[in-house]
Amino acid sequence: QITLKESGPTLVKPTQTLTLTCTFSRFSLSASGVGVGWIRQPPGKALEWLALIYWDDDKRYSPSLKSRLTITKDTSKNQVVLTMTNMDPVDTGTYYCAHALIVGVPYWFAPWGQGTLVTVSS
């Protein structure tokens, strides 16, 4: 079955850049209708969509975070990388990557990775 796993630092300092890698298996990010998204969740709060990369390398970003985010894919390595610049303590939370099923414009996520907790603190 499809699996995804996030990796990256657990602690970053304010103003630093966060780089997270999503390593997946059992699907191809070259296949039409497939994407990988990043979603985060501050402790005790709701899910927040961050970014999505499509099979054709199209990319979408959260409007409120667009200036800080970059999403890329390496199809040969089955990896998607998210970078977030100028980290702040409010960016603390669990970061998830997820496989996206894209039907034209709408999409949904299944399955999700286990998530990785990132703490921003000096």
Quickly count helices (H) and strands (E) in the chain.
0, 11
For residue 27, state whether it binds other proteins (rule: CB under 8 A). no
Spatial distance between the Cα atoms of 60 and 72, rounded to a whole number of angstroms: 11
Q: Which is nearer to other proteins, 60 or 119 (CB)?
A: 60
- In whole angstroms, how close is the CB of 54 to other proteins at the nearest point? 12
Which DSSP helix (H) or strand (E) runs through 120? strand 116-120
Interface pick for other proteins out of 31, 43, 90, 106 (rule CB under 8 A): 106
Q: Which stretch binds other proteins (CB under 8 A): 16-24, 65-73, 75-83, 107-115?
A: 107-115
For residue 115, state whether it binds other proteins (rule: CB under 8 A). yes
Q: Please choose, from the candidates 98, 92, 91, the residue with its C-alpha nearest in 3D space to the C-alpha of residue 114.
A: 98
Q: Which is nearer to other proteins, 76 or 104 (CB)?
A: 104
What's the distance, CA 55 to chain centroid?
Answer: 15
For residue 2, state whether it binds other proteins (rule: CB under 8 A). no
Under rule CB under 8 A, which residues in 59-88 are in contact with other proteins? Answer: 60, 62-63
Interface pick for other proteins out of 25, 74, 108, 121 (rule CB under 8 A): 108
Amino acid (one-letter) located at 3: T
Spatial distance between the Cα atoms of 18 and 87, rounded to a whole number of angstroms: 7
